[in-house]
Amino acid sequence: MSYQKQRNQLINLLIREGIINNQVLEAIKKIPRHHFVPKEYLKEAYENHPLPIGKGQTISQPYTVAFMLEALELKPGQKVLEIGTGSGYNAALIAELIKPGKLYTAEIYQTLIKKAKSILKKYSNIKVIKTDGSQGYQKEAPYDRIISTAAGPEIPKPWLAQLKEEGLIIAPIGTRFNQIVIKAKKIKNKLKKQELGYFQFVPLKGEYGY
Ligand code: SAH
């Protein structure tokens, strides 16, 4: 079956699972997820589960990716910070959803950065940065949106400081094995939090991680 056909099937599955945001679905239909998975997993590129990408990390399950992006309420022109570039797949989707806005995506593992950079070089509105994203990325702050694809014990203070008023953070928070995706809105310098659901993520490392 062609990759486009597999992507269309994945879209149907995501709709059945409750994803309704058309822009998110269109982006998933367009971005070739198989470019972001290791060769040995090509056959599973469009299946609804996470896949290993090296260094003990994973490319998240498509449903989880779609769920978080829907919650993030992305709009063209926004400035976004992603923590956890990993394969670069989520970054490519965000870049598509916010263009001509700009995405800054932080990763700690050099090998993952190298791979992601080579795939993402055709996206002119993505900058991959080697930095501890648990501390945010002060240089380009403030951001309209911050999304983390690694789970930490709490929302790091620098993320609040680097978020615009009325901005949103989507991040998995909890213990190493049990996490809830939180949606937090910055109102009068404080975060108003909402719990969205249980998922499993790799741990956030660094200063504010595990
Ligand atoms: N968004 C990715 C998912 C990657 S999994 C994708 O679409 O493939 C989470 C990633 O977060 C891992 O690659 C891990 O190395 C990275 N990570 C963990 N702690 C981090 C930190 N403090 N700063 C930046 N990246 C971090």
Tell me which residue has its CA closest to atom 10 in ligand 1.
84
Could you tell me the pLDDT band of residue 14, with boundaries at 50, 70 and 90?
A: very high
Mean pLDDT of 39-55: 96
95, pLDDT greater than 90: yes
List, for residues 137-188, the tens digit of each pLDDT value.
Answer: 999 999 999 999 999 999 999 999 999 999 999 999 998 888 999 999 999 9
User: For tokens 């982006």, what's the residue?
Assistant: 27
pLDDT, position 178: 87
Please identify, by atom number, the ligand 1 atom nearest to the C-alpha of residue 116: 8
E strands present in 15-67? 51-54, 57-59
For residue 119, give the amino acid letter. I
Mean pLDDT of 124-147: 98
Residues catalogued as catalytic:
60
pLDDT, position 29: 97
125, pLDDT greater than 90: yes
38, pLDDT greater than 90: yes
Ligand 1 in reach of 133 Cβ (< 6 A): yes
Q: What distance in Å separates the CA atoms of residue 173 and residue 175, rounded to the nearest whole number? A: 7
Q: Are 103 and 91 in contact (CB under 8 A)?
A: yes
37, pLDDT greater than 90: yes
pLDDT, position 177: 80
pTM for the model: 0.98
Could you tell me the pLDDT band of residue 123, with boundaries at 50, 70 and 90?
A: very high
> Which residue in 107, 103, 150, 114 sits closest to 130, CA to CA?
107
CB-based contacts of 140, cutoff 8 Å, min separation 6: 79, 81, 102, 104
Ligand 1 in reach of 136 Cβ (< 6 A): no
Mean pLDDT of 124-143: 98
How many Cα atoms occupy the beta-carbon half-sphere of 202 within 13 Å?
Answer: 20
Q: What distance in Å separates the CA atoms of residue 81 and residue 127, rounded to the nearest whole number? A: 10
Furthest CA-CA distance within the chain? 51
> Which residue in 173, 73, 184, 87 sits closest to 126, CA to CA?
87
pLDDT, position 173: 97
Buried b (16+ CB within 10 A) or exposed e, 178-206: ebebbbbbbeeeebeeeebeebebbbbbb
Ligand 1 in reach of 112 Cβ (< 6 A): yes
Distance of CA 1 from the midpoint of ligand 1 (Å) = 31
Ligand 1 in reach of 132 Cβ (< 6 A): yes
Mean pLDDT of 96-111: 98
Ligand 1 in reach of 60 Cβ (< 6 A): yes
41, pLDDT greater than 90: yes
pLDDT, position 92: 98
Please identify, by atom number, the ligand 1 atom nearest to the C-alpha of residue 205: 19
Distance of CA 178 from the midpoint of ligand 1 (Å) = 17
Distance of CA 205 from the midpoint of ligand 1 (Å) = 9
